[in-house]
């Protein structure tokens, strides 16, 4: 990673405990500006917990964490103003139109009426939905909804966007289009923090981290990881990191089958 | 503030886009008032009766005329012999049969007393009781007027005045009850459902991740329901006043202030329910079974709390509508001022604070 880029997310020794259960065990990593950072891990590995802390939705137990230069303990409000968040559950309102959803989130993020109008125009034009702004969200196909949700998460031009499994349940073509939007945002200097289950998507990231049982067990570019573990694709990297006994036991199961199990 | 307003606007859009919500908020109050007002009328009117006049003289004729002109009874059939008595009841045509004995008028003149038999269909005890009461009253009145000097037995004659509701209209009883139920329905049920809906859809997560403060989210959720509940108060009072002639004896300002207090209470209950339920169904179930049913049964709306077994009687103390109905009756019908209802008001205020306190605690825990 080029060192001249500034650090947008800074995490040192993040620990989060729920009672005696340790959800995040001493996480440390940095995310740089304009980077697409893949945050991988099996279900229950602690991804969502860490992400919620970074978004100001939850308190860490200990650790030194800044997001967009603000402290997660004391400056939650400032963090929230500077990030966008798209949850794994779909987050637009079905009974509102495209424009109304955009007006709502624009309003919540404190944009003026004029700014909102300009942003709606820009975003709709980019998505080629200008003539459909009065369509109810309920009447759109899922792929469109997700692209819209991503656009809405960026309506206030945040510095960082957190995407929690953004492409769940959509077809490969739409996923590819969705990633085009992510690249475009990264090119504009926005930092993207993405969790995903799809290992082909992990290949698209600039760097990925893989969480196992609350720890980060691997963190590097996809290329370096594949070299390190001597495998062809991220799927096998993931399995080697998350299930080290898998290959040694010589299962004949295909890795895509395991991937389904993880999902 | 601007953030807050865009949120409130969205809430209104949800409400006005959803036909079911609109029906619950605007249709049910009006429907309930009309149903209770016209259909479920416990006042006696046009009860069908039969008469078996074995005497057929001028006195029985006059008494019959008086009964029939009271407006409470309609003469369904004039019976000719007591053989018909059983069948006329079995056919279900009449609720009461009046039997004058032989030589009714003569006996009354000579002996100063004569008997009338009242046969009542007590398969509906309430109606039977009421018919009995009304009929006895009319007969007594007839006797007093027809034979004012004929007072062989000196009797104590109670002079009855039904204070605050001289005509014993049942609308006086049900309007306060309905008001309480509707406000609980709209405020508590609808808020709990709308907040859990955001949780279920996952939008709550996104809202919490936005610069909106949790308190703004909650207030934004309840503000539309506060306003709509006030609209409901106005429409219920309007219907009660203009359609059913219910007076508003006390101060209107006090009345609306008390209603607002109760709306706050219901809203805080709704928020509390939403903090403990994960899905809309759960919220709905808790609101319906845990709130609506006790509100209807234990509030004194239908069954007087004084007659309940001890356990239920004391249980009714923790039912907010019980106190609210008490307040409504006092202000609307008796026309008393605040000094008579401060205790009930205080109880409702304390309940509201407790609910808000618990909700905040619960909400904080959820955020951790």
Which chain A residues are Cβ-neighbours of B6 within 8 angstroms? 103-104, 106-108
What spatial distance separates the first Cα and last Cα of chain B, rounded to whole Å?
26
Pick the closest to residue A156 from A116, A185, A212 (CA basis). A116
Residue A128: inside a domain: yes
Contact criterion met (CB below 8 Å) for A208 and A234: yes
Could you give the CA distance from residue A234 to residue A218 in angstroms, rounded to a whole number?
12
Interface contact flag, A85 B206, Cβ < 8 Å? yes
Q: Which one has a higher pLDDT value, A250 or B185?
A: B185
Residue A2: inside a domain: no
Q: How many CB atoms lie within 10 A of CB A117?
A: 15
Residue A66: inside a domain: yes
B17 to chain A, minimum CA–CA distance in Å?
7
By C-alpha distance, the chain B residue nearest A113 is B2
Q: Which two tokens stand for residue A180?
A: 């085009």
pLDDT at residue number A13:
94
The residue range of the domain holding A58 is: 7-262
Q: Which two tokens stand for residue A130?
A: 């200008």
Residue with tokens 């955009």: A102
Interface contact flag, B203 A93, Cβ < 8 Å? yes
| pTM of the predicted model over 0.80 | no
Give domain limits for chain B: 2-40+169-367, 47-146
Flag whether pLDDT at B5 surpasses 80. Answer: yes
B200 to chain A, minimum CA–CA distance in Å?
9
pLDDT digits (tens, 9 = 90+) for B281-318: 999 898 888 888 888 888 888 778 888 888 888 888 88
Q: Which one has a higher pLDDT value, A60 or B124?
A: A60
Q: Which two tokens stand for residue A104?
A: 């709502």
Whether A95 contacts chain B with CB within 8 A = yes
Flag whether pLDDT at B93 surpasses 60. Answer: yes
CATH number of the domain bearing residue A98? 3.40.50.300
Flag whether pLDDT at B366 surpasses 70. Answer: no
Residue A221: inside a domain: yes
Flag whether pLDDT at B254 surpasses 90. Answer: yes
Could you give the CA distance from residue B266 to residue A52 in angstroms, rounded to a whole number?
32
What value does the mean pLDDT take over residues B342-354? 95
Count H helices and E strands in chain A, helices first: 11, 10
For chain A, the domain total comes to: 1
Name A19's Cβ contacts closer than 8 Å, sequence gap at least 6: none
> Would you tell me which CATH number, out of the four given (3.30.200.20, 2.60.120.370, 3.40.1710.10, 3.30.360.10), belongs to the domain B47-146?
3.40.1710.10
Could you give the CA distance from residue B6 to residue A106 in angstroms, rounded to a whole number?
9
Give the C-alpha distances (Å, rounded to integers) separating A63 from A28, A50, B141, B314.
9, 12, 90, 52
pLDDT digits (tens, 9 = 90+) for A91-136: 899 999 999 999 999 999 999 999 999 999 999 998 888 899 899 9
Q: Which one has a higher pLDDT value, B35 or B65?
A: B65
Count the helix, strand and coil residues of chain A and give each as a percent rounded to the nearest 5. 40, 25, 35
pLDDT at residue number A263:
45
pLDDT at residue number B174:
81
A142 to chain B, minimum CA–CA distance in Å?
15
A101 to chain B, minimum CA–CA distance in Å?
8
Predicted confidence band of residue B33 (pLDDT cuts 50, 70, 90): confident
Residue A249: inside a domain: yes
pLDDT at residue number A1:
46
Which chain A residues are Cβ-neighbours of B209 within 8 angstroms? 55-57, 80, 83, 85, 87, 162
Give every residue of chain A whose pLDDT is below 50, as ranges. 1-2, 250-255, 261-263
What value does the mean pLDDT take over residues B245-257? 89
What value does the mean pLDDT take over residues B86-91? 85
Question: What does the radius of gyration of chain A's CA atoms come to, in whole angstroms?
Answer: 19
Residue with tokens 């993880």: A262
Predicted confidence band of residue B40 (pLDDT cuts 50, 70, 90): low
The full length of chain A comes to 263
pLDDT at residue number A34:
93
Give the C-alpha distances (Å, rounded to integers) separating B330 from B83, B176, B242, B337, B341.
52, 10, 20, 8, 8
What value does the mean pLDDT take over residues B328-333? 89
Residue A1: inside a domain: no
pLDDT at residue number B13:
92
Contact criterion met (CB below 8 Å) for B178 and B36: yes
Could you give the CA distance from residue B127 to residue B91 in angstroms, rounded to a whole number?
17
Selecting from A55, A91, A106 the residue whose C-beta is nearest the C-beta of B203 gives A91
pLDDT digits (tens, 9 = 90+) for B197-236: 988 888 888 898 899 888 889 899 999 999 999 999 999 8
Residue A213: inside a domain: yes
Question: Helix B104-111 crosses helix B58-68 at what angle (to 10 degrees)?
Answer: 110
Q: Which one has a higher pLDDT value, A172 or B160?
A: A172
Selecting from A55, A93, A110 the residue whose C-beta is nearest the C-beta of B2 gives A110
Predicted confidence band of residue B273 (pLDDT cuts 50, 70, 90): very high
Which chain A residues are Cβ-neighbours of B3 within 8 angstroms? 107-110
Chain B interface mutation, best of A55, A107, A137, highest count of B Cβ atoms under 10 Å: A107
What value does the mean pLDDT take over residues B115-128? 85
Name B110's Cβ contacts closer than 8 Å, sequence gap at least 6: none
What value does the mean pLDDT take over residues B147-167? 65
């Amino acid at each position: 990673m080029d060192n001249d880029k500034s650090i947008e997310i800074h995490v040192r020794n993040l620990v989060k405990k729920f009672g005696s259960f340790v959800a995040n065990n001493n996480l440390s990593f940095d995310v740089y500006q304009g980077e697409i950072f893949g945050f991988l891990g099996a279900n229950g590995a602690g991804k969502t917990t860490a992400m919620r802390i970074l978004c100001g939705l939850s308190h860490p137990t200990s650790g030194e964490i800044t997001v967009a230069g603000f402290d997660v303990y004391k400056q939650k409000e400032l963090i929230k103003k500077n990030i966008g968040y798209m949850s794994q559950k779909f987050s637009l309102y079905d009974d509102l139109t495209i424009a109304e959803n955009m007006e709502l989130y624009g309003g919540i993020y404190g944009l003026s009426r004029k700014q909102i109008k300009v942003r709606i125009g820009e975003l709709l034009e980019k998505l080629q939905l200008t003539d459909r702004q009065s369509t109810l969200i309920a009447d759109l196909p899922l792929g469109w909804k997700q692209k819209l949700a991503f656009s809405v998460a960026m309506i206030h031009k945040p510095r960082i966007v957190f995407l929690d499994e953004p492409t769940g349940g959509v077809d490969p073509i739409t996923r590819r289009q969705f990633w085009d939007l992510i690249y475009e945002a990264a090119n504009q200097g926005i930092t993207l923090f993405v969790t995903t289950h799809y290992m082909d998507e992990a290949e698209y990231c600039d760097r990925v981290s893989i969480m196992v049982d609350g720890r980060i067990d691997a963190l590097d570019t996809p290329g370096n990881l594949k070299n390190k573990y001597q495998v062809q694709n991220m799927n096998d990297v993931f399995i080697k990191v998350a299930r080290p006994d898998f290959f040694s036991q010589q299962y004949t199961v295909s890795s895509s089958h395991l991937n389904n199990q993880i999902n | 503030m601007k953030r807050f307003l865009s949120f409130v606007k969205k809430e209104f859009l949800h409400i006005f886009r959803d036909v079911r919500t609109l029906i619950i908020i605007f249709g049910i109050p009006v429907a309930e008032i009309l149903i209770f007002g016209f259909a479920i009328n416990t006042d006696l009117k046009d009860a069908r009766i039969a008469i078996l006049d074995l005497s057929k003289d001028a006195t029985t004729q006059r008494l019959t005329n008086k009964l029939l002109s009271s407006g409470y009874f309609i003469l369904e059939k004039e019976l000719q012999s007591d053989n018909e008595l059983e069948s006329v009841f079995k056919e279900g045509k009449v609720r009461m049969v009046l039997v004058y004995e032989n030589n009714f008028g003569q006996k009354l003149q000579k002996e100063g007393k004569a008997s009338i038999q009242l046969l009542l269909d007590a398969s509906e005890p309430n109606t039977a009781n009421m018919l009995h009461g009304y009929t006895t009253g009319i007969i007594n009145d007839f006797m007093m007027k027809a034979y004012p000097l004929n007072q062989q037995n000196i009797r104590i004659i109670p002079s009855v005045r039904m204070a605050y509701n001289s005509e014993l209209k049942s609308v006086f009883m049900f309007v306060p009850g309905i008001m309480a139920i509707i406000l609980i329905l709209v405020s508590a049920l609808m808020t709990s459902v709308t907040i859990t809906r955001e949780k279920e859809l996952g939008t709550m997560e996104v809202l919490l991740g936005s610069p909106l403060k949790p308190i703004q989210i909650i207030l934004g959720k309840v503000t539309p329901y506060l306003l709509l509940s006030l609209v409901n108060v106005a429409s219920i009072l309007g219907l009660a006043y203009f359609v059913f002639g219910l007076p508003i004896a006390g101060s209107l300002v006090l009345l609306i202030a008390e209603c607002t207090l109760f709306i706050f209470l219901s809203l805080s209950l709704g928020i509390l329910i939403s903090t403990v339920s994960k899905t809309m169904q759960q919220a709905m179930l808790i609101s319906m079974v845990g709130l609506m049913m006790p509100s209807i049964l234990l509030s004194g709306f239908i069954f007087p709390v004084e007659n309940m077994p001890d356990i239920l009687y004391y249980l009714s103390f923790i039912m907010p509508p019980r106190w609210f109905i008490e307040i409504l009756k006092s202000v609307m019908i008796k026309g008393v001022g605040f000094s008579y209802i401060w205790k009930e008001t205080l109880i409702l205020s304390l309940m509201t604070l407790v609910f808000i306190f618990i909700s905040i605690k619960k909400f904080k825990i959820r955020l951790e």
